[in-house]
Amino acid sequence: MTDHTDSPAPQRLLLATDLCTRCDRPLDRAKQLAAEWQASLTIVMVRDGPGTPEEVSSWLDGSDPVHAFEQAARNEVAAEFAGTGVAATLQVVRGDVTDGIVQAATALTDPVVIIGASRDGGFQQLFLGSTATRLAQELAQPLLVVRQRTRGSYARILVANDFGDAARRALDSAIALFPGRLITLMHVLEVSPAGPPAAYAGAMHQAQLDSEGFLDRCALPDDARARIDIVIGHGDVPDAIAGYVAAAATELVVLGVHPISALARVFTGSYSDELLRRLPCDTLLVRAASGSA
């Protein structure tokens, strides 16, 4: 069980980006979190081939445009972080986007990994394709997908609760990464209020009891437990959570990800995948330990 009373802030952040305009949102969030946590920031740029007409021409001529590209990128990073107090370094690697991010994260000690969309096809899939799903399964570290503009620290945080180990780790992570924040713990009943009123009321009451029992098993310190608000929704899980997030102006949703095999991912979707596509806010994906329920 996580010791919530003495959990240090993350010391390292890893931002996967290509530094284009559409990556400004994850870049700004990385800056904010690095300052909040007093963490170092590693920026990784994964290139799976020549990206500009000039690079294509150089590649066809047999020359190597990598040095010039890296120097320009390093100059941009240096200018971006000048005077911010954030220690930022740049890594440029070649190969598959997902493999490059996983390898860069593995080389660091427990970073929080940050991604966002960009104009490049590979990075665009980080939001709406198989890349984010694969990263969430393969990364041992938390994965933050940024959509919103940064307007300060995360204040309104929701943790999705299915009473399993993945949800418990998601709650542990939310408490450890964002101490002192109010957290909504939301469970969704896949039932309709249009049924018998007594049965619906009984199911809602039982879900409340189950949520409280879940918190008891998490063995949280009193101050953390006091900042958690239990919410019970109903209906389709992605619909209910996305609807609540929009109505409550939630800034961050923390989702526990159940480890599943690559073959199983081909044939079965998950609420995490669907929510990642539909949530309007930032999303933190936290993978449960392999073999957990």
Would you state the structure tokens that stand for residue 157, as one six-digit string? 């945080």
Longest dimension (CA), the chain: 76
Confidence of residue 274 (pLDDT cuts 50, 70, 90): confident
Model pLDDT, residue 26: 92
Q: What integer best gives the mean pLDDT of the chain?
A: 82
Instruction: Compute the distance between CA of residue 32 and CA of residue 195 in angstroms, rounded to an integer.
Output: 47
Give CA–CA dist 176/284, Å, rounded.
13
The band of 242, judged by pLDDT with boundaries at 50, 70 and 90, is: very high
Among the ranges given (51-60, 126-135, 215-224, 280-289), the one the predictor scored with the smallest mean pLDDT: 51-60
pLDDT confidence of residue 116: 79
What is the tens place of the pLDDT at every residue in 133-156?
A: 778 888 889 999 999 999 999 999
> CA nearest 100: which of 118, 122, 78?
122
Classify residue 35 as exposed, middle or buried by CB count within 10 Å of its CB (0-12, 13-18, 19+): middle
Give pLDDT tens digits for 16-51: 987 765 678 999 999 999 999 999 999 998 876 555
With cut-offs at 50, 70 and 90, classify the pLDDT of residue 168: very high
Q: How far is CA 224 from CA 167, 172, 206, 215, in A?
A: 16, 10, 23, 10
Q: What does the pLDDT average to over 49-54?
A: 53
Q: Alpha-carbon distance 9 to 270, whole Å?
A: 30
CA-to-CA dists, residue 21 to 70, 159, 252, 257, 272, angstroms:
18, 30, 22, 30, 27
Q: Which two tokens stand for residue 124?
A: 């665009």
SS3 288: coil
The predicted model scores a pTM of 0.84
Q: Over 60: is that where the pLDDT of 78 sits?
A: yes
User: Helix (H) and strand (E) counts for the chain?
Assistant: 12, 10
**pLDDT-derived band of residue 52, with 50, 70 and 90 as boundaries?**
low
pLDDT of the residue at 275 = 83
Amino acid (1-letter code) at residue 263: L
For residue 264, what pLDDT is reported?
Answer: 43
Q: How far apart are CA 189 and CA 231, in angstroms?
A: 11
More confident residue, 2 or 265: 2
Q: How many residues does the chain have?
A: 293
pLDDT at 82: 86
The beta strand positions in 103-223, using DSSP E, are 112-115, 143-145, 156-160, 182-189
Mean pLDDT score, 164-177: 95
Alpha carbon 89 to chain centroid distance?
21
> Is a pLDDT exceeding 90 seen at residue 70?
no
Q: Average the pLDDT over each of 26-35, 64-73, 263-272 and give the range with the smallest value.
A: 263-272
- In this prediction, residue 259 carries a pLDDT of 74
Q: Which residues pair with 230 in a beta bridge?
A: 185
Place of tokens 């806010």: 281
- Quote the pLDDT of residue 252: 97
Alpha carbon distance 218, 292 (integer Å): 15
Average pLDDT over residues 237-265: 84
Residue 258: per-residue pLDDT: 80
